[in-house]
Amino acid sequence: MSTNNARTLRRAQAGTTEPAWVKWTLIGVVLVFVFLFLVLPLAAVFTEALRKGAGAFLEALQEPDAWSAIRLTLLTAAIAVPLNLVFGVAAAWAIAKYEFKGKAFLTTLVDLPFSVSPVVAGLVYVLMFGAHGWFGPWLQANDVKIIFAVPGIVLATIFVTFPFIARELIPLMQAQGSEEEQAALVLGATGWQTFWHVTLPNIKWGLIYGVILCNARAMGEFGAVSVVSGHIRGQTNTMPLHVEILYNEYQSVAAFAVASLLALLALVTLVIKSFVEWQFERQEKAAAHLPPERPTP
């Protein structure tokens, strides 16, 4: 009887899980793949940067051109991320809280910059503001430089990071509905109060998530920025562009030293992202354990 039961149990398990050797083979294949494609490239950045010792590494980072690249990268992100944050919140509010014609189409358009090649993204601004572009002659007459200058770099960065925050917030706010906001308004809160005290705490983690991904891309963007920058050393070189120039000049250690700062940024981004996901799950679980506030219809 008991052997019979054990056999049935084994058969049932054989149907819903894999044999141990299959399981461990699959895990092994994944670990090898992850090691080759993700761990090795990351490790290579740091070992190449330290190839000639810590002294050469630090020296490379103290170059004035490296510093100006770091400053420009920080400046670009400091402009692009807040603008896309305001846009992301506004777009998510309009799309998630209301019904209107063309909503699905608008949502698709918000995603559009993700599917456009970065090189094409850079090119469109050259066609608008370049010497031969739409506004080129007017800009030249008024002595305003956009292409091969900082404004072009900022614009191209805004374009490629455009959807990041909006696309995190739209599904989140759609899932949360607007009952809590309506309750706040009914109780006499103003629109701003409702947003600050009801909506914002609810979307906090989604917002942070979007911001750190947006920031990582803004600081790391290469293709779009490369088209509009003009590669003027000390003036229009962002960190990724500086990496390219050093690499092409066979200054491998210096190139990887600057690259290692960007790799650190990526690692910090991943750590914050994991933390946010953990917090978000905790919030969801806490919400699931709350007693229902009212009988469900």
- Return the number of the residue (101 or 289) whose C-beta is nearest another protein: 101
Rounded to the nearest whole angstrom, what is the least distance from the CB of residue 163 to another protein in the complex? 9
Rounded to the nearest whole angstrom, what is the least distance from the CB of residue 107 to another protein in the complex? 9
CA distances from 236 to 27, 150, 229, 242, 284 (A): 46, 6, 6, 9, 44
Amino acid making up residue 201: P
- Return the number of the residue (74 or 83) whose C-beta is nearest another protein: 83
- Return the number of the residue (56 or 116) whose C-beta is nearest another protein: 116
C-alpha triplet 282, 285, 288: angle, nearest 5°: 150
- Return the number of the residue (99 or 143) whose C-beta is nearest another protein: 99
- The C-alpha atoms of residue 247 and residue 253 are separated, in whole angstroms, by 9
- The C-alpha atoms of residue 145 and residue 152 are separated, in whole angstroms, by 8
CA distances from 141 to 121, 128, 132, 144 (A): 25, 15, 13, 8
Q: Estimate the crossing angle of helix 150-161 against helix 64-97, to 10 degrees.
A: 40
Query: What's the first-to-final CA gap in the chain, in angstroms?
Result: 48
Tell me which residue of 244, 268, 267 sits closest to 42, measured CA to CA: 267
Rounded to the nearest whole angstrom, what is the least distance from the CB of residue 272 to another protein in the complex? 10
- Return the number of the residue (44 or 78) whose C-beta is nearest another protein: 44
Rounded to the nearest whole angstrom, what is the least distance from the CB of residue 220 to another protein in the complex? 3
Burial (CB < 10 A; 0-12, 13-18, 19+), residue 228, is: buried
- Return the number of the residue (67 or 275) whose C-beta is nearest another protein: 275
- The C-alpha atoms of residue 280 and residue 208 are separated, in whole angstroms, by 11
Rounded to the nearest whole angstrom, what is the least distance from the CB of residue 290 to another protein in the complex? 22
Rounded to the nearest whole angstrom, what is the least distance from the CB of residue 55 to another protein in the complex? 21
- Return the number of the residue (60 or 244) whose C-beta is nearest another protein: 244
Rounded to the nearest whole angstrom, what is the least distance from the CB of residue 1 to another protein in the complex? 20
